[in-house]
Protein backbone atom coordinates (compact mmCIF):
# COMPACT_ATOMS: atom_id res chain seq x y z
CA UNK A 1 0.00 0.00 0.00
CA UNK A 2 1.36 3.39 -0.90
CA UNK A 3 0.14 6.78 0.29
CA UNK A 4 1.58 9.96 -1.11
CA UNK A 5 1.50 13.44 0.41
CA UNK A 6 2.67 16.59 -1.30
CA UNK A 7 3.30 20.04 0.18
CA UNK A 8 4.26 22.40 -2.62
CA UNK A 9 1.67 25.16 -2.23
CA UNK A 10 2.63 28.09 0.02
CA UNK A 11 -0.75 28.25 1.81
CA UNK A 12 -2.02 25.51 4.08
CA UNK A 13 -5.13 23.72 2.84
CA UNK A 14 -7.49 21.55 4.94
CA UNK A 15 -5.76 18.29 5.82
CA UNK A 16 -2.26 19.63 5.13
CA UNK A 17 0.51 19.73 7.79
CA UNK A 18 0.68 22.84 9.92
CA UNK A 19 3.79 24.97 9.99
CA UNK A 20 5.89 25.22 13.13
CA UNK A 21 4.11 27.23 15.77
CA UNK A 22 0.68 26.20 14.43
CA UNK A 23 0.47 22.80 16.10
CA UNK A 24 -3.17 21.84 16.66
CA UNK A 25 -4.17 21.20 20.29
CA UNK A 26 -5.40 17.75 21.31
CA UNK A 27 -9.21 17.52 20.91
CA UNK A 28 -11.10 18.11 24.15
CA UNK A 29 -12.63 14.63 24.17
CA UNK A 30 -9.12 13.11 23.98
CA UNK A 31 -7.99 15.28 26.92
CA UNK A 32 -10.96 14.07 28.97
CA UNK A 33 -10.33 10.44 27.97
CA UNK A 34 -6.66 10.72 28.98
CA UNK A 35 -7.61 12.22 32.37
CA UNK A 36 -10.13 9.46 33.06
CA UNK A 37 -7.61 6.78 32.05
CA UNK A 38 -5.12 8.29 34.49
CA UNK A 39 -7.68 8.18 37.29
CA UNK A 40 -8.55 4.56 36.48
CA UNK A 41 -4.89 3.56 36.67
CA UNK A 42 -4.49 5.48 39.91
CA UNK A 43 -7.17 3.27 41.46
CA UNK A 44 -9.96 5.82 41.84
CA UNK A 45 -12.44 3.09 40.87
CA UNK A 46 -12.38 -0.69 41.18
CA UNK A 47 -13.40 -3.16 38.48
CA UNK A 48 -17.18 -3.45 38.55
CA UNK A 49 -17.71 0.08 39.89
CA UNK A 50 -20.13 2.46 38.20
CA UNK A 51 -18.36 5.52 36.84
CA UNK A 52 -19.92 9.01 36.99
CA UNK A 53 -22.79 9.53 34.55
CA UNK A 54 -22.79 11.72 31.45
CA UNK A 55 -24.41 14.68 33.18
CA UNK A 56 -21.95 14.62 36.08
CA UNK A 57 -19.01 14.52 33.64
CA UNK A 58 -20.41 17.38 31.55
CA UNK A 59 -20.57 19.54 34.69
CA UNK A 60 -17.12 18.47 35.86
CA UNK A 61 -15.37 19.21 32.55
CA UNK A 62 -17.66 22.06 31.42
CA UNK A 63 -18.37 20.45 28.05
CA UNK A 64 -21.40 19.15 26.18
CA UNK A 65 -22.77 15.61 26.34
CA UNK A 66 -21.48 14.89 22.83
CA UNK A 67 -17.89 15.56 23.97
CA UNK A 68 -18.31 13.38 27.05
CA UNK A 69 -19.75 10.53 24.99
CA UNK A 70 -16.85 10.78 22.52
CA UNK A 71 -14.41 10.51 25.43
CA UNK A 72 -16.18 7.49 26.87
CA UNK A 73 -16.18 5.85 23.44
CA UNK A 74 -12.37 6.01 23.55
CA UNK A 75 -12.33 4.19 26.88
CA UNK A 76 -14.84 1.63 25.60
CA UNK A 77 -12.73 1.00 22.50
CA UNK A 78 -9.74 0.30 24.74
CA UNK A 79 -11.76 -2.23 26.71
CA UNK A 80 -11.68 -0.21 29.95
CA UNK A 81 -15.43 0.31 30.33
CA UNK A 82 -18.76 -1.01 29.12
CA UNK A 83 -21.93 1.04 28.65
CA UNK A 84 -25.00 -0.78 29.95
CA UNK A 85 -28.61 0.45 29.57
CA UNK A 86 -30.27 1.47 32.88
CA UNK A 87 -27.05 0.64 34.74
CA UNK A 88 -24.52 3.13 33.47
CA UNK A 89 -20.80 3.05 32.72
CA UNK A 90 -19.12 0.02 34.32
CA UNK A 91 -15.35 -0.29 34.80
CA UNK A 92 -14.20 -3.46 33.04
CA UNK A 93 -10.40 -3.23 33.30
CA UNK A 94 -7.64 -0.97 34.59
CA UNK A 95 -5.34 -1.45 31.58
CA UNK A 96 -6.23 -1.25 27.85
CA UNK A 97 -6.97 -4.61 26.25
CA UNK A 98 -6.50 -3.39 22.67
CA UNK A 99 -3.57 -2.03 20.71
CA UNK A 100 -2.89 1.69 20.88
CA UNK A 101 -4.60 3.30 17.87
CA UNK A 102 -3.46 6.52 16.25
CA UNK A 103 -6.41 8.06 14.39
CA UNK A 104 -5.68 10.44 11.52
CA UNK A 105 -8.00 12.36 9.21
CA UNK A 106 -5.65 12.69 6.21
CA UNK A 107 -2.58 11.09 4.67
CA UNK A 108 -0.52 13.93 6.18
CA UNK A 109 -1.24 12.45 9.60
CA UNK A 110 0.71 9.35 8.64
CA UNK A 111 3.89 11.43 8.85
CA UNK A 112 3.78 11.72 12.60
CA UNK A 113 3.10 9.94 15.86
CA UNK A 114 1.19 11.34 18.85
CA UNK A 115 3.27 13.72 21.02
CA UNK A 116 3.34 11.28 23.96
CA UNK A 117 5.40 8.70 22.02
CA UNK A 118 8.92 10.19 21.87
CA UNK A 119 11.68 8.67 19.76
CA UNK A 120 14.90 7.87 21.65
CA UNK A 121 17.96 7.58 19.41
CA UNK A 122 20.31 4.90 20.73
CA UNK A 123 22.81 4.64 17.88
CA UNK A 124 24.14 6.80 15.04
CA UNK A 125 26.96 6.75 12.54
CA UNK A 126 27.96 6.41 8.88
CA UNK A 127 26.65 3.46 6.87
CA UNK A 128 27.32 2.07 3.41
CA UNK A 129 24.65 -0.11 1.82
CA UNK A 130 26.20 -3.52 1.13
CA UNK A 131 23.36 -6.01 0.99
CA UNK A 132 19.61 -6.39 0.94
CA UNK A 133 17.78 -3.98 3.20
CA UNK A 134 14.54 -4.97 4.95
CA UNK A 135 11.05 -4.34 3.62
CA UNK A 136 10.44 -1.60 1.08
CA UNK A 137 13.83 0.05 1.61
CA UNK A 138 15.35 0.46 -1.85
CA UNK A 139 18.60 2.32 -1.19
CA UNK A 140 21.19 1.80 -3.97
CA UNK A 141 23.89 -0.72 -3.21
CA UNK A 142 27.14 1.04 -2.36
CA UNK A 143 25.42 4.31 -1.45
CA UNK A 144 26.51 6.07 1.73
CA UNK A 145 24.17 7.34 4.44
CA UNK A 146 24.13 8.62 8.00
CA UNK A 147 22.17 6.06 10.03
CA UNK A 148 20.11 6.70 13.17
CA UNK A 149 18.54 3.87 15.15
CA UNK A 150 16.23 3.96 18.13
CA UNK A 151 12.96 3.04 19.82
CA UNK A 152 9.67 4.92 19.97
CA UNK A 153 8.18 4.88 23.45
CA UNK A 154 4.73 3.56 24.29
CA UNK A 155 2.26 6.17 25.58
CA UNK A 156 1.47 4.04 28.65
CA UNK A 157 5.01 3.08 29.65
CA UNK A 158 4.74 -0.43 28.20
CA UNK A 159 7.02 -2.11 25.64
CA UNK A 160 8.24 0.16 22.81
CA UNK A 161 5.79 0.87 19.99
CA UNK A 162 8.40 0.26 17.32
CA UNK A 163 12.01 0.17 16.22
CA UNK A 164 12.94 3.08 13.95
CA UNK A 165 15.87 3.22 11.52
CA UNK A 166 16.51 6.50 9.73
CA UNK A 167 18.85 6.97 6.76
CA UNK A 168 20.03 10.51 5.97
CA UNK A 169 22.37 11.89 3.33
CA UNK A 170 25.85 12.12 4.91
CA UNK A 171 25.87 15.94 4.85
CA UNK A 172 22.89 15.92 7.24
CA UNK A 173 24.84 14.17 10.03
CA UNK A 174 24.53 15.84 13.40
CA UNK A 175 20.80 16.54 13.28
CA UNK A 176 20.24 13.90 15.98
CA UNK A 177 21.83 16.19 18.56
CA UNK A 178 18.78 18.43 18.33
CA UNK A 179 16.20 15.69 18.83
CA UNK A 180 16.53 15.34 22.61
CA UNK A 181 13.60 16.94 24.34
CA UNK A 182 12.26 18.40 21.09
CA UNK A 183 9.00 17.05 19.71
CA UNK A 184 9.60 18.30 16.18
CA UNK A 185 10.20 15.73 13.46
CA UNK A 186 13.62 15.02 11.96
CA UNK A 187 12.71 16.58 8.62
CA UNK A 188 11.68 19.79 10.42
CA UNK A 189 15.11 20.02 12.05
CA UNK A 190 16.75 19.36 8.68
CA UNK A 191 14.82 22.23 7.11
CA UNK A 192 15.88 24.60 9.88
CA UNK A 193 19.53 23.49 10.01
CA UNK A 194 20.27 22.90 6.33
CA UNK A 195 17.48 24.64 4.43
CA UNK A 196 16.44 21.41 2.71
CA UNK A 197 12.64 21.51 2.42
CA UNK A 198 10.32 18.54 2.03
CA UNK A 199 8.49 18.74 -1.30
CA UNK A 200 7.21 15.17 -1.58
CA UNK A 201 6.76 12.18 0.71
CA UNK A 202 5.96 8.57 -0.16
CA UNK A 203 4.70 6.16 2.49
CA UNK A 204 4.64 2.38 2.20
CA UNK A 205 2.81 0.14 4.69
CA UNK A 206 3.36 -3.61 4.54
CA UNK A 207 3.08 -6.82 6.53
CA UNK A 208 6.53 -7.93 7.71
CA UNK A 209 8.36 -9.87 10.41
CA UNK A 210 10.54 -8.54 13.22
CA UNK A 211 14.24 -8.67 12.35
CA UNK A 212 16.39 -10.80 14.73
CA UNK A 213 18.70 -7.84 15.44
CA UNK A 214 15.91 -5.78 17.04
CA UNK A 215 13.63 -8.48 18.51
CA UNK A 216 15.05 -8.31 22.06
CA UNK A 217 14.74 -4.51 22.26
CA UNK A 218 11.08 -4.78 21.21
CA UNK A 219 10.49 -7.64 23.68
CA UNK A 220 9.18 -10.05 21.03
CA UNK A 221 10.50 -13.16 19.32
CA UNK A 222 12.47 -12.82 16.09
CA UNK A 223 10.25 -13.47 13.09
CA UNK A 224 7.11 -12.26 14.87
CA UNK A 225 4.54 -10.54 12.60
CA UNK A 226 4.78 -6.79 12.32
CA UNK A 227 3.52 -3.69 10.55
CA UNK A 228 6.40 -2.05 8.70
CA UNK A 229 6.23 1.56 7.50
CA UNK A 230 8.73 3.11 5.10
CA UNK A 231 8.70 6.89 4.65
CA UNK A 232 10.80 8.51 1.91
CA UNK A 233 11.37 12.29 1.87
CA UNK A 234 12.31 14.21 -1.30
CA UNK A 235 13.39 17.84 -1.61
CA UNK A 236 12.43 20.47 -4.21
CA UNK A 237 14.98 19.03 -6.65
CA UNK A 238 13.53 15.53 -6.35
CA UNK A 239 16.52 14.28 -4.32
CA UNK A 240 15.87 11.60 -1.71
CA UNK A 241 17.46 12.92 1.50
CA UNK A 242 15.74 10.96 4.29
CA UNK A 243 14.26 7.47 4.59
CA UNK A 244 12.79 5.98 7.75
CA UNK A 245 11.85 2.35 8.37
CA UNK A 246 9.68 1.46 11.38
CA UNK A 247 8.92 -2.05 12.65
CA UNK A 248 5.77 -2.27 14.81
CA UNK A 249 5.12 -5.63 16.53
CA UNK A 250 1.66 -7.00 15.71
CA UNK A 251 -1.09 -5.95 18.07
CA UNK A 252 0.92 -3.10 19.56
CA UNK A 253 0.08 -0.24 17.23
CA UNK A 254 -2.28 0.59 14.38
CA UNK A 255 -3.31 3.50 12.19
CA UNK A 256 -6.94 4.42 11.75
CA UNK A 257 -7.36 6.56 8.62
CA UNK A 258 -10.69 8.32 8.34
CA UNK A 259 -11.81 9.76 5.00
CA UNK A 260 -15.03 11.80 4.95
CA UNK A 261 -17.04 13.00 1.97
CA UNK A 262 -18.21 16.59 2.33
CA UNK A 263 -21.12 18.26 0.55
CA UNK A 264 -20.28 21.38 -1.45
CA UNK A 265 -21.89 24.49 -0.04
CA UNK A 266 -23.46 25.41 -3.38
CA UNK A 267 -24.75 21.93 -4.18
CA UNK A 268 -28.55 22.10 -4.53
CA UNK A 269 -30.55 19.76 -2.29
CA UNK A 270 -32.94 17.52 -4.22
CA UNK A 271 -36.51 17.58 -2.99
CA UNK A 272 -37.58 13.98 -2.61
CA UNK A 273 -41.10 14.91 -1.50
Category of 135 on φ-ψ map: left (φ > 0), alpha (ψ -120 to 50) or beta: left
CATH entry 3.40.1410.10 includes domain 2-16+106-257: yes
Question: CA dist 267 to 15, 59, 259, 260, 272, Å?
Answer: 22, 39, 20, 17, 15
Is the pTM value of this prediction over 0.85?
Answer: no
**Are 146 and 193 a contacting pair, CB within 8 Å?**
no
Neighbours of 174 (CB within 10 A): 13
Mean pLDDT along residues 248-263? 68
Segment 138-168, tens digit of pLDDT = 788 889 999 999 998 887 778 898 999 999 9
CA distance 188 to 5: 16
Query: Domain locations in the chain?
Result: 2-16+106-257, 28-91
Average pLDDT value over all residues in the chain: 79
User: Of residues 140 and 135, which shows the higher confidence score?
Assistant: 140
Examine domains 2-16+106-257 and 28-91 and report if their fold is the same: no
Q: What pLDDT is attached to residue 112?
A: 65
Mean pLDDT along residues 218-224? 92
Backbone angles phi, psi at 55, to 5 degrees: -65, -40
**Are 51 and 44 a contacting pair, CB within 8 Å?**
no
Segment 97-120, tens digit of pLDDT = 655 555 555 555 556 677 677 888
For residue 168, what are the β-bridge partners? 146, 242
User: Of residues 227 and 256, which shows the higher confidence score?
Assistant: 227
CATH class of the domain at 28-91: mainly alpha
Amino acid sequence: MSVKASSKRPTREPGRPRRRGQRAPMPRYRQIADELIGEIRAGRWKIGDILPGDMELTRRFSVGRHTVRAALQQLERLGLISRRPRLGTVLQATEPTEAYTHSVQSSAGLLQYPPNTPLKITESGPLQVKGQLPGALKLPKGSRWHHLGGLRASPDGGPPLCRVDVYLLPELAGVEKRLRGDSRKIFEHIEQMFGRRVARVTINLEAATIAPAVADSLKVAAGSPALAITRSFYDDDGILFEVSYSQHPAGRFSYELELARHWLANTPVRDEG
